[in-house]
Amino acid sequence: MARAVALPQTRWAAQPAVAAWAAATVLAAAALPWGRAGRDLGSWLWDSTGVVLASGSLLAAGVLLASFAVLLAGLWPAPERTRGVALAAFGACGMALSGLLLGVRGTPTGPAGVLAPLGFLTLTGFGLSSSGRWFVDPFLSAAVLWAAAFVALFILLPLASVVVASVWVDGRFTLEVVHRTLTSPAFLALDHPGTPHNELAVAAAVGLAVAVGTLVLGWYLRWSRRSLPAGGAAGLAAAALASLYLGFGAFRNSLLLAVVVGAVSTALGFAFALLSERSQLPTRRLLGTLSALPIITPPFVLGIAMLYLFGRRGFVTYRLLGVSTDVFFGPLGVAVAQVLAYTPIAYLVLVGVVRALDASLEEAAQTLGASPWHLVRTVIWPLARPGLANAFLLVAIESLADFANPIVVGGGKPFLATEVFFAIVGRYNPHEAATYGAVLLALTLTVFVFQQRWLGGAFYVTVTGRPTGARPQPLPLWLDWALSAVFVVWMVVVVLLYGSVFVGAVTRLWGFDYTFTLRHLQDLHPQGWQVLRTTVQLSAYAAVPSVVVGFLIGYLVNRVDFPGRRALEFSSMLSFATPGTVMGIGYVLAFNQGPLLLTGTELVIVLAFVFRNMPVAIRAAVAALEQIDRSLEEASTMLRAGASTTLRRVVAPLARSALLSGLVFAFVRAMTAVSQVIFLITPQHNLATTQILSYLEYGSQGRGAALASVLTLLLVTVVASLQALSRRLDPRTAQLGAG
């Protein structure tokens, strides 16, 4: 039997993918409409097909020509490199011409306007791959271009629109809105004109006092060289904090809140991490539940609960203590709600830190009889500092971005995230909203860049099973008891809060009439159920693309070498660090007119979800890929599989557990999203979270509580079944082991 020798194809004999894409591109460009009549995605204008347009428009004719050129290049029997160059060139031309055509027409885009550019882009990728310029699989080179296009269109463009909208008013550049907004007392007032004293002067005095105090202390402790800079830094920090504390306005409120909540949550998170690693008391077992809380808590749940317990007719304040108070309306209430919501995040970050501490402490204890102070200074502090800073910054970002708590319990005080909303919804001023958005964006980006650069830390915390290893040294008993007591108090508050929402769902009128009723649940019919169904539907639609796109980007960034790789990674993570309200207003500004008109459709909500939650999948992908030996992929390549086959048949099955949890978290995050979609919803497709908000706005707290309870239960079920499922999946993968 003679061996059938598979000859390589330097002549491009069979490239069915290229031919198919080229044919589809021609078809789309020629026979499908380029325009829509209005917002409705189905309102295709059949008199705007390429064939029709070509007679009147040079651009349309150019696009058609480019599509035919691409098809010819795909079928032309020339050497591979030549064809590759031709394909890439014609594809790029086609892209540019299609873009121009859409821009010049300026009307909403029809199917051809989506499919033709996508086809050109893909063929450009195929062309680049075979031109020999770029040694990468055709599928991957197309995927890089897709990823870049998606990220540019759905992350960078909305963010850029926010910045532009703040300085581009009525068709010209002006700093007037920015200036007016930033100097308004609603934004920031360090010295309130209504008070008799000068707050700035007070802050300066505080700073001076602290600086002098530090200098004296330094002199007393003989710090010599370091006392002057230390005094200066302490004084400045104290002055800044004091003026923050004494000041007014949205900027001050948000920043102060972020600092305080960051510090408190980090401290609590550290205490709980210590407990979970080193406590001997039974309360330790409850800590696992703690870590899942922020994921499954829909927004407004804590806010409603705060009203129920500590509001003017709150159960604790009014019923038990007999006071009718507003103290929990405003920054204090928001702070409490945020601390409850974000402490688990800090806890998850710090568990790892405490674990690392344990190992090195044991070593240190074994090697030298160091004094405790020396140990703290040389081992504990350097090790714990990055983790603590990381936890603080993560919580600070969350706090800055938070929209739900300030709007419910903020007591009407301005915060950056809510001002974006009110500027649009209340004052109808998108430029002012954009200014607030840009400030908020700048603030979170600074924190994000700082966190990525200096701490290189994961921006995410994922729920992981705790490995059962040797138990490190237990805590001293008094500390164990003290921390456990704090934890128990925390737990009681959390249970009370969550419980009050569930009870509130079946209580006639909280604060006045505590009799049992099912009326609120019945009242969810039909509107509430309808909204819940839409929410589940849209979240489910969004979950799969989030994971596919996220996984692809994760793969590209982790495994493929291409120019702009870091930029792609950073931009795709950006959508996670950006506060939802900013992303939301970005979508409104970017997709509200012209060829990109999408607002008012379900698609824009789904897209917002997809690109908002994609980073979750990126992280999951990267973590999974780190476990997969590259030689498996190379083996697949050597067996003549293309990259898409390798991804489908080798990588995806090996990463299925990560893919699954990515899928579930993308779904859950979409279900609980509020700030980024609040501007995008319409009466026809309202979402559960925004529906809760409107129930609250119209005073139907009972109905809000009912919907929030149902949503919470739904999410608990989803997450619990994920955990059961991944337990079923995991032993198998473990048993099969690595190749």
Partner 1 sequence: MNAVAEGVPVRLEGVTKRFGAVLAVDSVDLHVPPGKLVTLLGPSGCGKTTTLRLVAGLERPTAGRVWIADEDVTDLPAARRGVTMVFQSYALFPHLTVFENVAYGLRVQRLPAAEVRRRVMEALELVGLPETAERYPAQLSGGQQQRVALARALVMQPRVLLFDEPLSNLDAKLRRRVRAEIRMLQQRLGITSLYVTHDQAEALALSDVVVVMNQGRVEQVGIPEEVYRRPRTRFVADFIGEANLLPATFWEGAVEVASYRFPVEQEEVRDGPVTVMVRPEAVVVSQDASGLPGVVRTVFFMGMTTELLVDTPAGEVLATQPYRADRRIVPGEQVRLRFEPAGVYLLPAEDGRG
Q: Which residues contribute to the site for partner 1 (CB under 8 A)?
A: 1-10, 80-81, 129, 132, 135, 137, 629, 631-632, 634-642, 645, 649-650, 653-654, 733, 735-739
Cβ atoms of 34 and 112 within 8 Å: the answer is yes
Shortest Cβ 653–partner 1 spacing (Å): 5
Asked whether the beta carbons of 56 and 28 are under 8 A apart, the reply is no
Q: Please state the closest distance from residue 736 (CB atom) to partner 1, in A.
A: 5
Residue placing its CB nearer to partner 1 in the complex, 517 or 644: 644
Give the Cβ contact number of residue 62 at 10 Å: 18
CB of 137 to partner 1, least distance (A): 6
Q: In angstroms, what is the minimal distance from the CB of 465 to partner 1? A: 21
The pair of three-digit structure tokens given for residue 297, joined into one six-digit string = 């808590």
Minimal distance, residue 641 CB to partner 1, in Å: 5
Nearer to partner 1, 508 or 649 (CB): 649
Neighbours of 454 (CB within 10 A): 12
| DSSP classification of residue 596 | G
Of 521 and 655, CB closest to partner 1: 655
As measured in angstroms, the least distance from the Cβ of 5 to partner 1 is 6
- 6 vs 470, which CB is nearer to partner 1? 6
How far apart (Å, rounded) are the C-alpha atoms in residues 210 and 447?
26
**Min dist. Cβ of residue 87 to partner 1 (A):** 15
Write out the two tokens for 124. Answer: 């450009």
Is the CB of 81 or the CB of 519 nearer to partner 1?
81
Q: Which is nearer to partner 1, 132 or 474 (CB)?
A: 132
- Residue pair 403/385 in contact by the 8 Å Cβ criterion: no
Q: Judged by CB, which is closer to partner 1: 293, or 632?
A: 632
Residue with smaller CB distance to partner 1, 131 or 507: 131
CA-to-CA distance for 622 and 573, rounded, in angstroms?
13
Of residues 1 and 470, the one with the C-beta less far from partner 1? 1
Give the pair of three-digit tokens for residue 589. 């500004």
Nearest-approach distance from CB 564 to partner 1, in angstroms = 18
Q: Which is nearer to partner 1, 197 or 732 (CB)?
A: 732
Spatial CB neighbours of 580, under 8 Å, sequence gap ≥ 6: 401, 403, 417, 612, 673, 674, 675, 676
**Cβ proximity of 578 and 443 under 8 Å:** no
Tokens of 617: 């999948």
Distance, in Å, from the CA atom of 586 to the CA atom of 683, rounded to the nearest integer, reads 20
Q: How far is the CB of 560 from partner 1 (least distance, A)?
A: 13
> How is residue 563 written in tokens?
């120019």
- DSSP secondary structure letter of residue 473: P
Q: How far is the CB of 143 from partner 1 (least distance, A)?
A: 15
Least distance CB 575 / partner 1 (angstroms)? 31
How far CA 261 is from CA of 21, 269, 391, in Å, comes to 53, 11, 11
User: How far apart (Å, rounded) are the C-alpha atoms in residues 661 and 667?
Assistant: 10
CB of 85 to partner 1, least distance (A): 12
Q: Which is nearer to partner 1, 210 or 643 (CB)?
A: 643
Q: Map tokens 């700093």 to a residue.
A: 175
- Among residues 527 and 733, whose Cβ is nearest to partner 1? 733
The distance of closest approach from Cβ of residue 96 to partner 1 in the complex, given in angstroms and rounded to an integer, is 27
In the structure encoding, which two tokens stand for residue 410, read together?
A: 């903020």
CA distance 599 to 424: 15
Radius of gyration of the chain (CA): 29
Shortest Å distance, C-beta 462 to partner 1: 23
- Quote the Cα angle for 124-552-587, to 5°: 85
* Exposure string for 23-45, b = 16+ CB within 10 A, e = fewer: bbbbbbbbebbbbbeeeebeebb
- Whether residue 304 contacts residue 696, with contact meaning beta carbons closer than 8 Å, is answered with yes
DSSP 490-535: HHHHHHHHHHHHHHHHTEEETTTEEEE-SHHHHHTTTHHHHHHHHH
Closer residue to partner 1, CB minimum distance, 260 or 621: 621
CA distance 546 to 607: 9
User: What's the first-to-final CA gap in the chain, in angstroms?
Assistant: 33
- Separation of alpha carbons 428 and 171, rounded Å: 18
- The helix (H) or strand (E) run that includes residue 168 is strand 168-169
644 in Cβ contact with 661 (< 8 Å) = no
Q: Exposed, middle or buried by CB within 10 Å (0-12, 13-18, 19+), for 528?
A: buried
639 vs 713, beta carbon nearer partner 1:
639
Task: Give the separation between CA 381 and CA 357, rounded to whole angstroms.
Answer: 10
Q: At its nearest, how many Å lie between partner 1 and the CB of residue 562? A: 13
Comparing CB distances to partner 1, the nearer of 519 and 656 is: 656
Q: Is the peptide bond before 331 cis (omega within 30 degrees of 0)?
A: no
Residues paired with residue 109 on neighbouring β-strands, in sequence order: 35
Burial of 613 (0-12, 13-18, 19+ CB in 10 A): buried
Cα–Cα distance between 297 and 672 in angstroms, integer? Answer: 8
As measured in angstroms, the least distance from the Cβ of 6 to partner 1 is 5
In total, the chain counts a number of residues equal to 739
Kindly state the smallest distance separating residue 132's Cβ from partner 1, in Å.
4
Nearer to partner 1, 2 or 470 (CB): 2
Using the minimum distance from each CB to partner 1, give the nearer residue, 198 or 645.
Answer: 645
Minimal distance, residue 628 CB to partner 1, in Å: 10
SS (H, E, C) 133-144: CCCCCHHHHHHH
For residue 387 the two structure tokens come to 């983790």
Beta carbon nearer to partner 1, 479 or 729: 729
**CA angle at residue 389 from 386 to 393, to 5 degrees?**
135
